[in-house]
Structure 1
């Protein structure tokens, strides 16, 4: 796809063409284009958000998952907890637990990282 074709697709998607948006999301996901998925996600496209979460989890992108989680996305929070656990990132788990996330608190307890 040429840059001109991509630009046209973005314009159509931005004007509400759901088929164009779906195609753009599919291309972005296939190409690992976090920037495009983030742009679409930030404009309210839930499919783009789902793809962005999936890509961030696959790439171990704690920062992107944290951004989405802090924005209220529970799926991103779940993925962030899973990734933080895999990475042994107690600081991230503690941060989430301190915000009231019981799953993160449970993970900390399971890992023996509970503050007395």
Structure 2
């Protein structure tokens, strides 16, 4: 994950958001894939907050890879059972 967003990523993100706004059914899946590839937790969080289960799953996977227990805890506190299970597994002694 880079600290500075790639300008081409930002451009791709904007284009995909425009396609979503126009009702393109494939754009959301493409945006989730792109955000996952870029390690963009913020974008995945935004998409998951809309109720998108694929975005939530990818967010959990990325948070797990990064060891982001706070993100997993946040999701678990919001009732995400998968995040709660992963958090339990990671914090078992």
TM-score above 0.5, yes or no:
yes
Alignment of 1:67-78 (within 5 A): 67-78=46-57
Query: Which of the pair has the greater relative contact order for Cα pairs under 8 Å at 6+ separation?
Result: 2
Residue in structure 1 matched with residue 75 of structure 2 by the alignment? 96
Root-mean-square deviation (CA, aligned residues, Å) is 1.4
**Uncovered stretches (5+) of structure 1, i.e. residues with no partner:** 1-30
Cα deviation for residue 43 of structure 1 reads: 3.6
Structure 1: distance between partners of 2:21 and 2:57: 19
Q: Report the number of matched residues.
A: 83
**Displacement, 1:42?**
3.4
Name the larger-Rg structure.
Answer: 1
Give the deviation of 1:38 after TM superposition. Answer: 1.4
Distance 1:112 1:44 in 2: 41
Per-residue CA distance 1:48-92 (angstroms, 9 max, x = gap): 000000000000000000000001100000000000000011111
TM-score by length of structure 1 reads 0.67
1:32-71 to 2 correspondences below 5 Å: 32=9, 33-71=12-50
Structure 1 residues 93 and 42: CA distance shift in structure 2, 3 A: farther
Instruction: Find runs of 4+ consecutive structure 1 residues off by over 6 angstroms.
Output: none
